[in-house]
Structure 1
Amino acid sequence: MPVRDRDDRRERRRFGPLAISQEEFERRRREWLERRRAALPRLTRAYFSIAVGCLVMAAGFSFFMIPQRIAPGGVFGIATVLHYASRSLLGIDLPTGAIGLVLNIPLFVWGLRSLGGRFVSRTVFGMVAASLFMDLLSYWIVRSGWEAAVAEADPMLAAVFGGLAIGVGLGITFRHMGSTGGTDVVGQILGRKSNISVGVWMMIVDAAIVVAASSYFRDLNLSLYAVITIFVTGKVIDQVLAGRSYSRSVTIITEKGEAIREAIVFGIDRTGTILEGRGLYRGRRKDVVICVVNRKNLVHLERLVAAADPEAFLIVSEAYEVLGEGFKPLEDRLAGQAPAV
C-alpha cells in the first residue's frame, strides 16, 4: 500500500469519517481563494457605494436639517440638538458629525454584544464616513457664506428635500449591506427583549428625540417638520431598496388553459405557470395561469385573453419586484452584497 494512502487512512481513523485528504484540502482551499478574489471587485464597489450613500445622507443633514434646526430622530438628530446646545451654553460649535460619532460608539458596542458581529466592518466604515462627510460639508457651508442663506430657506422645503437626500443616501447604504449605526440598533435590541416589534421601537425612539428637540428649541413647528422628514425618508428608502416596478402580475382563472397558454407564448412572447384549481361554487376544474408582463404588454394580453376565453377571470396587481430571466437579473439585484470582511 502506498505511504500516502496509509497516511490518509491513519488521519481518517484519528479525526473520524469527516476527515479529508491533503489533496481535497488543497482543492477546497484553492476554490475558497478564487471565490475571495472574485468577490474583491464587488466588495470594492460595495464600499464605494456606501461612501456615496453616506455623502448624500450627510448633504441632507448639512444643507437642510442642521441649518433649520430640524432633528428627524436618530443619532444625528440628537447631535443636531447638542450642536446648538453647545453653541448657546458653552459658546462653541461642537461639530455635529463628531457628536454623532461619539454617540454611535456606545450604541455600536452594545449592538455588537447583543446582536453579533455581522457586517461590523461596513457599519464602522459607514459611521465614520457619515460623520466625516457631515462635518466637512458643514465646514464648507460656513466658510463659503452659505450658512445664513440656507438657514433662511423655507423650512417646509428643507424638510422635504432633506428627507429626500437622507432617504436616497440611507437607501444606497442599506442596499449594499452598510449602516450608519444609530438608534436602529436600539430598536433591534429592544425588539428582541420584548414583544414589541423593531419598527415600533424605532418609531418610539425617534418620536422621543423629535419631542425632546421641539421642547429644547421651544418650537412646535420643528417637530412637525421633523415628522415630514421622517415620512419622506422612509418612503424614499423603500423606493431605493426595492426600485420602482413597472411590471404587472397577472393571474388568469380559466377553463381554456391551453388557449390562454398559446395566447401568452405566441401573442406577446412571454411565459408563465399553469396551476390546476377547482371552482368553489360548482367544483369544476379550472386552470390558474400566472404570468408577469410589463405595462405596455398588459393591454395586449387582456385583449388576447378576452378573445381566447371571454369568461376568463383576471386579477392584475403591481409586482413589487421581479427578478429572473426576462427581467432584472438576480445577480444585478445582489450586486455589492458580498460577504463583509
Structure 2
Amino acid sequence: MKKKWKDLGLVSLGSFISAVGFNTMFLENRIASGGVGGLAISLNALFGWEPGTFVLLANIPLMALCFFLLGKEIFLKTVYGSWIFPIFISLTSSLPTFTNTPLLAALFGGIILGFGLGLVFLGNSSTGGTGIVVQILNKYTPLPLGLLIILVDGIIVGIGFIAFDADTVLYSIIALLSITYVVNMMMTGADSSRNLMVISQQHELIKEYITKVADRGVTELPILGGYTGKEKRMLMTAVSRPEYQSLENEILKIDETAFIVVMPASQVRGRGFSLHKNHLIEDDILIPM
C-alpha cells in the first residue's frame, strides 16, 4: 500500500511539472515536441482548440485501445496519468510564458517536461497519448521500441509543418531530443550503479575491505594471465555511484598497481540494492551483503 501511494505521488507531481513546462515553455512558442501534447499545440494554432481538453478527449479512445489490446494491468497503470495530466494542463493554463526565445523554450522546456515525465515513469505509469500507440505497435509488430517512438513522435512533429514554419519545427525536434535525454537519464540513473572487477596481488586485503568496511558483497573468480600464464584471482563487486569513488581510492591505497575495470550497471537486483541486507541468512546463492 505504501508503494502505491508513493507511485501515485510521483505520477501526480510529474504530471503537474510536465503541465507547467507545457504551458510556460511550449504552448506560446508553438513547440510541438511529439505526443498528443505536441499535436494539441499544432491544432491549437490551426483551429484554436484548448490543449487540455483535446488531450483529455484524445486519451479516451486511446485508453479503450489500451484496455482491449494491452490488457487490464497496463490500462490500470495508465488511466490515472492520462486523466490527471490534461487536467493539470487546464489548471496551469493561466501561467505566464517564461521565455519568448524559442531555443531557450525548447531546451529548458524539454528539461522540465523530461523531468516530469521521468517522475511519471518512475511511478510505474504514463500520461497515455501516443505512448499507448507505441506500446500497441510494439506488441503487434516486429519493429523495435526505439524505432517506434521515433516514428510516432516524428509523425506528430511532422504535422507541425502544416501549422508552423520550418524553424519552429526544428525547435520542436530539439525539444523532443531534450525530453528523451532527460527521461533516459532519470530512468537509468534511478538504479544506476557501478560494477568493479579488480585484479591485484593484494586481493585478500581488498576483499576484506570490501566485505567488512564497505559492507558490500564480493565474488572471487579464478583467472589465468594471458601473458604470464599464471593463475590469479579477480574480485567482482557492485556498488552504488556515490560509493564508487571512495572504494576505488581505498583499493589503490591497498595496491596502487591494482588493475580495475569499471562498468556502468543500469540496474542491480539483490541484497543491498533491491533487497535489504541480512547478514544472518546463509542460504542465498550469493553471500548476503
Q: Normalising by the residue count of structure 1, what TM-score does the alignment of the two structures yield?
A: 0.71
Work out whether 1:72 is the aligned partner of 2:22.
no
Q: How does 1:1-341 map to 2 (within 5 A)?
A: 39=1, 41-87=2-48, 94-138=49-93, 140-141=94-95, 146=96, 150=97, 153-217=100-164, 219-243=165-189, 248-254=194-200, 257-262=203-208, 264-265=210-211, 271-281=217-227, 283-291=229-237, 292=239, 293-306=243-256, 310=257, 312-321=258-267, 330=275
Contact 1:255 1:285 in 2 (8 A): no
Instruction: Give a deviation string over 1:140-193, Cα, whole Å, max 9, x none.
Output: 23xxxx3xxx28611111111111111111111111111111112212222233
Q: Distance in 2 between matches of 1:320 and 1:239?
A: 10
The Cα shift of 1:281 comes to 5.0
Q: Any idea what SS the aligned residue of 1:118 has?
A: helix
Q: Distance in 1 between matches of 2:216 and 2:83?
A: 48
Q: Normalising by the residue count of structure 2, what TM-score does the alignment of the two structures yield?
A: 0.83
Q: Any idea what SS the aligned residue of 1:99 has?
A: helix
Instruction: Give a deviation string over 1:66-108, Cα, whole Å, max 9, x none.
Output: 1111100101111111112113xxxxxx220110111122222
Q: Distance in 1 between matches of 2:211 and 2:137?
A: 51
Instruction: Give a deviation string over 1:14-34, Cα, whole Å, max 9, x none.
Output: xxxxxxxxxxxxxxxxxxxxx
Q: Any idea what SS the aligned residue of 2:260 has?
A: strand
Q: Which amino acid letter does the alignment assign opposite residue 248 of structure 2? A: L
Q: Which amino acid letter does the alignment assign opposite residue 226 of structure 1? A: S
Given the superposition, is the C-alpha separation of residues 119 and 268 from structure 1 closer, same or farther in structure 2, using an over 3 Å criterion? closer
Q: Which amino acid letter does the alignment assign opposite residue 74 of structure 1? A: G
Q: Which amino acid letter does the alignment assign opposite residue 149 of structure 2? A: M
Q: Which amino acid letter does the alignment assign opposite residue 115 of structure 1? A: L
Higher helix share: 1
Q: Which amino acid letter does the alignment assign opposite residue 56 of structure 1? A: I
Q: Distance in 2 between matches of 1:256 and 1:330?
A: 30
Given the superposition, is the C-alpha separation of residues 133 and 200 from structure 1 closer, same or farther in structure 2, using an over 3 Å criterion? same
Contact 1:267 1:304 in 2 (8 A): no
Contact 1:119 1:177 in 2 (8 A): no
Contact 2:198 2:259 in 1 (8 A): yes
Q: Any idea what SS the aligned residue of 1:314 has?
A: strand
Q: Any idea what SS the aligned residue of 2:136 has?
A: helix
Q: Distance in 1 between matches of 2:47 and 2:250?
A: 64
Contact 1:55 1:133 in 2 (8 A): yes
Q: Any idea what SS the aligned residue of 1:179 has?
A: coil
Contact 2:63 2:75 in 1 (8 A): no
Q: Distance in 2 between matches of 1:107 and 1:245?
A: 31
The Cα shift of 1:279 comes to 3.4
Which sections of structure 2, spanning at least 5 residues, go unmatched? 277-289
Contact 2:78 2:126 in 1 (8 A): yes
Q: Distance in 2 between matches of 1:271 and 1:105?
A: 49
Q: Sequence identity, in percent?
A: 31
Which sections of structure 1, spanning at least 5 residues, go unmatched? 1-38, 88-93, 332-341
The Cα shift of 1:45 comes to 2.8
| Higher Rg | 1
The Cα shift of 1:256 comes to 5.4
Given the superposition, is the C-alpha separation of residues 169 and 278 from structure 1 closer, same or farther in structure 2, using an over 3 Å criterion? same
Q: Any idea what SS the aligned residue of 2:255 has?
A: helix
Q: Distance in 1 between matches of 2:162 and 2:63?
A: 27
Instruction: Give a deviation string over 1:275-301, Cα, whole Å, max 9, x none.
Output: 122334555322110123421332231
